[in-house]
Amino acid sequence: MHALSIPTWIIHISSVIEWIAAIWLIWKYGEVTGHRAWGALSFAMLPALVSAMCACTWHYFDNAPSLEWLVTLQATMTLIGNFTLCAAAFWIWRSYRTNTTPYSSTSNLSSLEKK
């Protein structure tokens, strides 16, 4: 646990907590709006969370050589997370372009045209 300074530990741990909170809030937003794409975004965030937990675990055990596989797992989960987040963002963008939801430009235009 001596591998990182106290301020660095605070940043690492608070980032993991913040990411967990963001996942939960995005999931709730998807439930409230009824937009399934937001739920997909919360699932797409999970690989990045696993990556962060790998880093914290490896540092907690003083970067032990026996746990070096965590570095590989962290890199892999970061790569997978980048792709899943990209796909989820595309899904959200596409769903707002094709659906008439209260937040899409299509429904706003149609409501303005009716007046």
Q: Give the pLDDT mean for 40-63.
A: 95
Q: Mean per-residue pLDDT for 52-72? A: 94
- What is the overall mean pLDDT for the chain? 88
Helix, strand, coil percentages in the chain from 3-state DSSP, rounded to 5: 85, 0, 15
pLDDT digits (tens, 9 = 90+) for 4-20: 899 999 999 999 999 99
Residue 98: what pLDDT?
80
The model's confidence at residue 104, banded by pLDDT at 50, 70 and 90, is very low
Q: Would you place residue 70 in the very low, low, confident or very high pLDDT band (cuts 50, 70, 90)? A: very high
**For residues 16 and 43, is the Cβ–Cβ distance under 8 A?**
no
- In order of 25, 52, 66, the CA distances from 12 in angstroms are 20, 8, 22
For the question of whether the overall pTM of this predicted structure is more than 0.85, the answer is no
